[in-house]
A and B are shown apart, each in its own frame.
Chain A
Amino acid sequence: MSVAIKANRLTPYMFLAPAGIILIFALLYPIGYMIYASFLDWSPSQRIGQAEFIGFRNYVNLWGDEAFRESFWVTIRFAAIVVTLEMFLGVGLALLLDRNIKGMAVLRTVFILPMMIAPIVVGLMWRYMYHPTVGIFNRTLKSFGFEGIPWLSDSTWSFIAIVIADVWQWTPFIFILALAAMQSLPRSALEAAEIDGASEWQKIILIKLPLMMPVLIVTLLLRLIDAFKVLEVILVLTNGGPGLSTEILALRIFRTAQEFQELGEAAAMSNLLLMMLMAITIGMFAYSRVQEARVARQRAAAEKDDD
Chain B
Amino acid sequence: MPRIRLENLVKRYGDFEVLHGINLEMEENEFTVLVGPSGCGKSTTLRMIAGLESVSDGEIFIDDRPVSNLEPKARDLAMVFQDYALYPHMNVARNMSFALRLQRRPKKEIDEKVGKVADMLGLTNFLHRKPGELSGGQRQRVAMGRALTRDAGTFLFDEPLSNLDAKLRGQMRAELALMRQKVRKNMIYVTHDQIEAMTLGDRIVVMHGGYIQQQGTPEELFKRPANKFVAGFLGSPPMNFLEAEVQDLSGRAFVSGNGFELVLPDEKAAAVSSASSKGVTLGIRPSDLHYSPDAPEHESIDLQVIVSEYIGAQSVLLCDCGGQKVEVELKSETPIALGETLRFAVNREGIHMFDRETEVAIR
Contacts and interface: CB of A to CB of B under 8 A. Distances in A.
Interface of A: 186, 188-189, 191-198, 202, 206-207, 210-211, 213, 295, 298-299, 301-303, 305-307
Contact of A186 (B71, B78, B88, B132): B88
Given A195-B50, A195-B79, A196-B73, A189 B85 contact: yes
B33 to A, nearest CB: 20
Contacts of A186: 83, 85, 88
A-B pairs with lowest CB-CB distance, top 10: A188-B85, A196-B99, A197-B73, A298-B132, A192-B85, A306-B135, A298-B133, A301-B133, A210-B89, A195-B72
B73 A195 contact: yes
B129 interface: yes
B181 to A, nearest CB: 22
Label chain A's interface by main secondary structure: helix
A207 B98 CA distance: 11
B130 A298 contact: yes
A207 B52 CA distance: 17
Which of B71, B88, B137 has the most chain A CB atoms inside 10 A of its CB? B88
Contacts of B87: 189, 192-193, 207
A56 to B, nearest CB: 48
A271 to B, nearest CB: 40
A206 B97 CA distance: 13
Interface in B47-72: 50-52, 71-72
Nearest to A307: B137
| Max chain B C-beta neighbours (<10 A), residue from A196, A213, A302, A306 | A196
Given A193-B98, A207-B87, A307 B168 contact: yes
Interface residues on B, range: 20 to 34
A194 B73 CA distance: 6
Residue of A192, A302, A307 most packed against chain B (CB within 10 A)? A192
A301 B81 CA distance: 24
Nearest to A301: B133
13 contacts: A186-B88, A189-B88, A191-B72, A192-B79, A192-B86, A192-B146, A195-B52, A195-B72, A196-B73, A197-B99, A298-B132, A301-B129, A306-B136
Contacts of B166: none
Contacts of B85: 186, 188-189, 191-192
Contact of B135 (A196, A213, A307): A307
Nearest to B167: A307
B81 A197 contact: no
Contacts of B138: 305, 307
A84 B317 CA distance: 72
B81 A188 contact: yes
Contacts of A189: 85-88
Contacts of A194: 51-52, 71-73
Contacts of A207: 87
B78 A303 contact: no
Given A192-B87, A197-B102, 20 more contacts: A186-B88, A191-B85, A192-B85, A194-B71, A194-B73, A195-B51, A195-B52, A195-B72, A195-B73, A195-B78, A196-B73, A197-B73, A206-B98, A298-B130, A298-B132, A298-B133, A301-B129, A301-B133, A302-B135, A306-B135
Given A186-B88, A303-B135, A202 B72 contact: no
B132 A202 contact: no
B77 to A, nearest CB: 6
Interface in B88-139: 88-89, 98-99, 102-103, 129-130, 132-138
B32 to A, nearest CB: 18
A194 B53 CA distance: 12
B150 interface: yes
B46 to A, nearest CB: 12
Contact of B89 (A188, A192, A211, A299): A211
B174 to A, nearest CB: 14
B290 to A, nearest CB: 40
B168 to A, nearest CB: 7
From A191, A195, A213, residue with most partner B Cβ within 10 Å: A195
B77 A195 contact: yes
Contacts of A211: 88-89
Nearest to A192: B85
A157 B329 CA distance: 89
Given A186-B88, A189-B86, A191-B81, A198 B73 contact: yes
A192 B139 CA distance: 14
